[in-house]
Amino acid sequence: MKTLYISDLDGTLLNSEAALSDYTAKALRELIQGGLLFSVATARTMASAGKILERVLPLPVPAVLQNGALVYDTRERRYVKKEVIPPDVVREMLACLQRHGLNSFLYSQEAEHTVVYHGDITREYMHTFAKIRKGLYGKRFIYTDDPAAHAGESIIYLSVQDDHDSLAAAHRALLELPEIGCVFYPDSYIQGCWFLECYSHTASKKNAVKYLREACGFDKVVGFGDNLNDLPLFEACDASYAVANAREELKAAAAGVIGSNAEDGVVRFLSEFGKGVSYGTTIAV
């Protein structure tokens, strides 16, 4: 049986330092070299995911990025699937956020390059988000007086960071807009910070995994996660496992609970469970 094993990154495969532990990096690399068909499904872009995963790259199966808005082949170094938000929908999203007193990061994906546009950043959590990603991953953040002026570009993602109560009403309003998918979940590292993220209604971890299943001919998909944005991933899987540190909602939706991210739960599970599974070869789409 041709099986895909696919894991979330933050809070799941990564430790509390947002990194692969030495054990996970070594063991996962050996599993992949041995033929395990493995990939990741993350809210991150390739700029940050690629740096974090560099010790195990390339992956044998394309990676799901930005909660399913992008699918990237790390072997061929190209995007194989991109879900662009229509310009009028981008403008509606920005107007909706403005009515709630919120600014956002707007992601444009032109060819292989990601650019993040933003207006005035007035929220401390957003300052922290940009600072970390510019410093650690070299992401391109570009200030603009009018983010809506970029709506006609290949916009694939919108992200806002703040506390739960400041974002909850905007989240409800965004869910009412047509052609929009939306996730709302707490940060894995900063207490009190929540992410509100939007993408095309055709993009989600669920739809991206469904695409991989069909394009690569997988008979079975096994997923791993910890946070609310992993619920769509679990919906796409034949079997799903929550790490011990996962939110209760994930544990309730999972087939089982495995070791925490601090205990290298995903890779220890794969090392044991993988002894009895059929392995494959590199998959390209």
Q: How confident is the model at residue 285, as a pLDDT?
A: 54
Q: How confident is the model at residue 153, as a pLDDT?
A: 96
Q: Strand pairing partners for 257?
A: 242
Q: How confident is the model at residue 145 (pLDDT cuts 50, 70, 90)?
A: very high
End residue of a domain, out of 149, 176, 200: 200
Distance CA 53, CA 20 (A): 7
Q: How confident is the model at residue 1, as a pLDDT?
A: 87
Q: Identify the H or E element spanning 75.
A: none
Distance CA 35, CA 105 (A): 38
Q: How confident is the model at residue 272, as a pLDDT?
A: 87
Question: How many structural domains comprise the chain?
Answer: 2
**Cis link prior to 58 (omega < 30° from 0)?**
yes
Distance CA 152, CA 159 (A): 18
pLDDT tens-place string over residues 183-206: 999 999 999 999 999 999 999 999
Q: Identify the H or E element spanning 85.
A: none
Calculate mean pLDDT across residues 230-255.
98
Q: Which domain holds residue 16?
A: 3-82+204-276
**Same structural domain, 168 and 249:** no
**Same structural domain, 120 and 69:** no
State whether residue 46 is helix, strand or coil: helix
DSSP sequence for 51-65: HHTTTTPSPSSPEEE
**Same structural domain, 95 and 71:** no
Q: How confident is the model at residue 284 (pLDDT cuts 50, 70, 90)?
A: very low
pLDDT tens-place string over residues 73-115: 999 999 999 999 999 999 999 999 999 999 999 999 987 889 9
**Same structural domain, 76 and 93:** no
231 Cβ neighbours under 8 A, 6+ residues apart: 225, 249, 250, 253
> What's 31's domain CATH number?
3.40.50.1000
Residue 235, pLDDT above cutoff 50: yes
DSSP assignment, residue 190? S
State whether residue 13 is helix, strand or coil: helix
Mean pLDDT computed over every residue of the chain: 94
- Report yes or no on 281 lying in a domain: no
**Same structural domain, 196 and 208:** no
Q: How confident is the model at residue 122, as a pLDDT?
A: 87
Q: What is the pTM of this model?
A: 0.93
Number of Cα atoms under 13 Å in the Cβ half of residue 25: 13
